[in-house]
Amino acid sequence: MKKIAMFTMGTRGDVQPYIYLSRALKAKGYDVTLGSHPCWRGLIEDAGVHFEPIGPDIDIEMEAAVIRGKSPNAVMSMIRTMNFIMKIIQGATREVYKLCEGRDLIIVTHSKIGAVEAAVLGIPVIDVTLQTEMIPEKLKEQKFTDKLIGSMIGHQIDKPYNRIRKEYGLKPMKNGDEIRSDKLNLIPISKYVIERSPYWEDMNVLTGYWFEEEGDFTPSDKLLSFLEAGEKPVIIALGAMSFEAQSERAKLDMFVNALSKTGHRAIIQGFQKTLSGYSLPESMTACGSVPHSWLFRQGKFVIHHCGFGTSAASMICGIPSLPVPHVLDQLGFAVRLEKAGVATDHISAKDLTGEKLALAIESMDSSYGALKARALELSSLIAGEHGLDTAVRLIEEAMGWA
Separation of alpha carbons 153 and 354, rounded Å: 38
Residue 68 shares a structural domain with residue 178: yes
Q: What is the pLDDT of residue 70?
A: 56
Residue 31 · residue 4 · CB < 8 Å:
yes
Residue 299 shares a structural domain with residue 151: no
CB neighbours of 275 closer than 8 A, spacing ≥ 6? 252, 268, 286
Residue 204 shares a structural domain with residue 284: no
Asked if residue 215 is part of any domain, the answer here is: no
Q: What values do phi and psi take at 244, rounded to 5?
A: -85, 140
Segment holding 121, helix H or strand E: helix 115-121
Asked if residue 22 is part of any domain, the answer here is: yes
Residues spanned by the domain of 60:
3-209+385-399
Residue 260 shares a structural domain with residue 367: yes
CB neighbours of 258 closer than 8 A, spacing ≥ 6? 354, 357, 358, 361
Q: What is the pLDDT of residue 244?
A: 58
Asked if residue 131 is part of any domain, the answer here is: yes
Asked if residue 231 is part of any domain, the answer here is: yes
Residue 115 shares a structural domain with residue 243: no
Asked if residue 83 is part of any domain, the answer here is: yes
Residue 68 shares a structural domain with residue 202: yes
Asked if residue 390 is part of any domain, the answer here is: yes
Residue 185 shares a structural domain with residue 263: no
User: Any idea what the CATH number is for the domain that residue 262 is in?
Assistant: 3.40.50.2000
Spatial CA neighbour of 334 closest among 361, 304, 360, 292: 304
| Helix locations, 47-114, DSSP H | 60-70, 74-91, 93-100
Asked if residue 249 is part of any domain, the answer here is: yes
pTM of the model: 0.90
Residue 57 shares a structural domain with residue 71: yes
Residue 273 shares a structural domain with residue 125: no
Residue 37 shares a structural domain with residue 134: yes
- The neighbouring-strand residues paired with 201 are none
**Burial group, residue 322, by CB count within 10 angstroms (0-12, 13-18, 19+):** buried
Asked if residue 216 is part of any domain, the answer here is: no
Residue 259 shares a structural domain with residue 371: yes
Q: How many domains does the chain have?
A: 2
Q: What values do phi and psi take at 147, rounded to 5?
A: -65, -40
Q: What is the pLDDT of residue 65?
A: 65
Q: Digits of tens for pLDDT over the chain (402 positions)?
A: 999 999 998 888 889 999 999 999 999 999 999 999 999 999 999 999 999 999 988 877 777 666 665 555 656 666 676 777 888 888 899 999 999 999 999 999 988 999 999 999 999 999 999 999 889 888 787 765 655 445 544 555 677 888 999 999 988 887 777 788 999 999 999 999 999 999 999 999 999 999 987 667 889 999 999 999 999 999 999 876 655 555 678 889 999 999 999 999 999 998 888 888 889 999 999 998 888 999 999 999 999 999 999 999 999 999 999 999 987 788 999 999 999 999 999 999 888 999 999 999 999 999 999 999 999 999 999 999 999 999 999 999 999 998
Residue 310 · residue 13 · CB < 8 Å:
yes
Residue 119 shares a structural domain with residue 234: no
